[in-house]
C-alpha cells in the first residue's frame, strides 16, 4: 500500500498558504486515494523551534494544528488516515541522527531556505535550523512515503530526502527506503501545473509565510474574517491597469486570482477567463475579499466543532500506527548500519 504524507510545522498560526499548499492538497488526495493508500498527516512539532518561538504556547498550537487537519476535512473514521505528532514517535529523531551521518555537509549547506531564514533570524541561527531538512528526510523516509504534497518552497528539501534515500540504498545495496517521487511527478499527483506558492499580500514577489512579523502580509486561519477581507482590499498590486495572470509582471493580481480559484475549488483557467480584459482591481479585490471572508467563517465554525475527545482518540490511534511502522523501519536501518543484529 503506498503512503502519502505531509505535515505543517506548529510554530505560528497557519495561513491560507499552508491551507492551500498542504492541508487542502492532502484532503483532496485523501478523498481520491484513502481507500488504497496510507494517508499520514503529522505535526512536525520538533521542527517548531528551529527558529525562536514562545514555548509556553507550543503545546496548544500543536493541538490546534490537529484540530485544523480534522476541520480541513480529513475523515478521522477512515482506518487508513493517520494523524500523529512527530515528538511522540521517537524513531524520527533516531533516524535523523543516522541520516546526518550520511549527508555531506556541502549538500546540506546548499539549502536556500537555511540561507534565507538565517538572514531573517541572524541572531539565532542554530544547528537545529541547519539540520531540519535532514529531520524532514527522516519524517518522509521512515514511512516509505512516495508522495509528499508540499508547497513549492519545500521541493529542495524533498530533493535532499530523495538523495539521502538513494545514497543509503546504494551504500547498503538493499532497498532500505522507498524513494519519494521527484518534483514533477509530485505536482502531477496533486493535479497542479506547478508547485504552489501563495504570495505575501504586502510583497507579492515573496511567499506568504506564517512566521512573518507583518500581519498584513498574510491571512492567518484564526484571523477575524472581516479583518482578513480588509487585508485583501489593501493587497499590493501594480499599475498595469488590466487583470491578467502573469506571475512575473503582475504577481499581486495573479496571487489574488489563484486564491480566488483555489478557495472556491475552481480551475484557475476558468477564473482567469472570467476576469480577462477587466480593468477594475477594486472589483477583483472585493470578490476575493468575500471569498476569503466566507472561507474563514466556515472554517472557523468547523474548527470550533472538533472536540477534545476526537483529538485524543485520533492521536492515540495515529501514534500507535506511526510508532509501529517507524520502529520497524528504524530497526531495519539499525541492522544495515551495524548497530543491531
Ligand atoms: P514558516 O514561515 O514558519 O516557515 P511556512 O508558512 O513556510 O511557515 P511551513 O510549516 O514551513 O510553513 O510549511 C508547511 C507546508 O505549507 C509546506 O508544505 C509548505 O510548502 C506549505 N506552504 C507554506 N507556505 C506556503 C505558501 N505561501 N503557498 C503554498 N504552500 C505553502
Ligand atoms: Mg516554511
Task: Give the residue, out of 7, 22, 192, 251, with the most ligand 1 atoms within 8 A of its beta carbon, to mutate for a pocket test.
Answer: 22
Burial class (CB in 10 A: 0-12, 13-18, 19+), 254: buried
CA of 143 to the centre of ligand 1 (A): 21
Length of the chain: 341
| Domain coordinates in residue numbering, the chain | 2-191+308-337, 215-304
How far apart CA 115 and CA 125 sit, in angstroms, is 10
Q: Which atom belonging to ligand 1 lies closest to the Cα atom of 150? A: 18
Q: Is 64 a catalytic residue?
A: no
Q: Within 6 Å (CB) of ligand 1, which residues are found?
A: 8-9, 11-12, 15, 17-18, 20-22, 150-151, 153-154, 196-198, 207-211
Predicted structure pTM score: 0.92
Q: Are 42 and 48 within 8 A, CB to CB?
A: no
285 is catalytic: no
User: Where does residue 277 fall: left (phi above 0), alpha (psi -120 to 50 degrees), or beta otherwise?
Assistant: left
If one residue of 14, 21, 69, 190 were mutated to test the ligand 1 pocket, choosing by the most ligand atoms within 8 A of its CB, it would be 21
Q: Which fold has domain 2-191+308-337?
A: Rossmann fold (3.40.50)
3-state secondary structure of 42: strand
Q: How confident is the model at residue 202 (pLDDT cuts 50, 70, 90)?
A: very high
CATH class of domain segment(s) 215-304: mainly alpha
Average pLDDT (259-263) is: 97
pLDDT tens-digit readout, 289-339: 999 999 999 999 999 999 999 999 999 999 999 999 999 999 999 999 999
Pick from 135, 137, 136: which is nearest to 178 by CA?
A: 137
Common-topology check for domains 2-191+308-337 and 215-304: no
- pLDDT grade, residue 194 (50/70/90)? confident
Q: What is the pLDDT of residues 99-154, one digit of tens each?
A: 999 999 999 999 999 999 898 888 889 999 999 999 999 999 999 999 999 888 99
Catalytic, 216? Answer no
Q: Which three cell numbers stand for residue 1?
A: 500500500
Residue nearest to atom 14 of ligand 1 (CA): 8
Asked if pLDDT for residue 192 goes beyond 90, the answer is no
Q: Which residues contact 264 (CB under 8 A, 6 or more apart)?
A: 271, 291
**CA 6 to ligand 1: nearest atom:** 18
Amino acid at each position: 500500500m503506498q503512503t502519502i504524507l505531509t505535515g505543517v510545522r506548529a510554530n505560528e498560526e497557519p495561513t491560507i498558504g499552508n491551507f492551500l499548499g498542504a492541508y487542502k492538497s492532502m484532503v483532496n488526495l485523501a478523498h481520491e486515494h484513502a481507500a488504497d493508500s496510507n494517508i499520514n498527516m503529522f505535526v512536525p512539532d520538533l521542527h517548531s523551534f528551529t527558529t525562536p518561538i514562545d514555548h509556553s504556547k507550543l503545546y496548544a498550537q500543536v493541538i490546534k494544528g490537529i484540530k485544523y487537519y480534522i476541520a480541513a476535512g480529513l475523515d478521522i473514521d477512515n482506518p487508513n488516515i493517520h494523524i500523529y505528532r512527530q515528538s511522540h514517535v521517537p524513531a524520527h529523531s533516531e533516524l535523523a541522527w543516522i541520516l546526518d551521518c550520511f549527508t555531506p555537509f556541502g549538500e546540506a549547506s546548499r539549502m536556500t531556505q537555511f540561507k534565507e531564514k538565517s538572514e531573517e533570524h541572524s541572531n539565532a541561527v542554530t544547528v537545529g535550523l541547519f539540520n531540519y531538512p535532514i529531520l524532514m528526510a527522516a519524517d518522509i523516509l521512515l514511512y516509505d512515503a512516495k508522495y509528499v504534497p508540499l508547497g513549492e518552497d519545500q521541493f529542495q528539501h524533498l530533493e535532499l530526502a530523495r538523495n539521502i534515500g538513494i545514497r543509503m540504498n546504494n551504500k547498503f545495496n538493499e532497498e532500505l527506503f522507498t524513494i519519494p517521487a521527484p518534483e514533477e511527478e509530485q505536482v502531477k499527483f496533486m493535479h497542479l501545473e506547478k508547485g504552489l506558492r501563495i504570495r505575501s499580500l504586502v510583497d507579492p514577489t515573496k511567499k506568504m509565510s506564517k512566521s512573518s512579523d507583518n500581519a498584513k502580509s498574510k491571512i492567518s486561519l484564526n484571523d477575524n474574517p472581516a479583518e482578513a477581507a480588509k487585508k485583501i482590499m489593501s493587497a499590493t498590486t501594480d499599475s498595469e491597469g488590466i487583470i491578467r495572470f502573469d506571475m512575473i509582471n503582475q504577481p499581486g493580481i495573479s496571487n489574488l486570482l489563484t486564491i480566488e480559484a483555489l478557495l472556491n475549488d475552481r480551475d484557475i483557467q476558468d477564473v482567469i477567463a472570467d476576469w480577462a480584459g477587466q480593468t477594475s482591481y477594486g472589483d477583483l479585490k472585493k470578490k476575493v475579499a468575500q471569498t476569503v471572508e466566507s472561507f474563514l467563517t466556515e472554517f472557523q465554525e468547523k474548527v470550533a466543532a472538533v472536540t477534545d475527545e476526537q483529538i485524543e482518540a485520533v492521536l492515540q490511534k495515529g501514534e500507535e500506527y506511526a510508532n509501529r511502522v517507524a520502529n520497524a523501519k528504524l530497526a531495519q536501518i539499525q541492522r544495515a548500519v551495524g548497530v543491531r543484529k
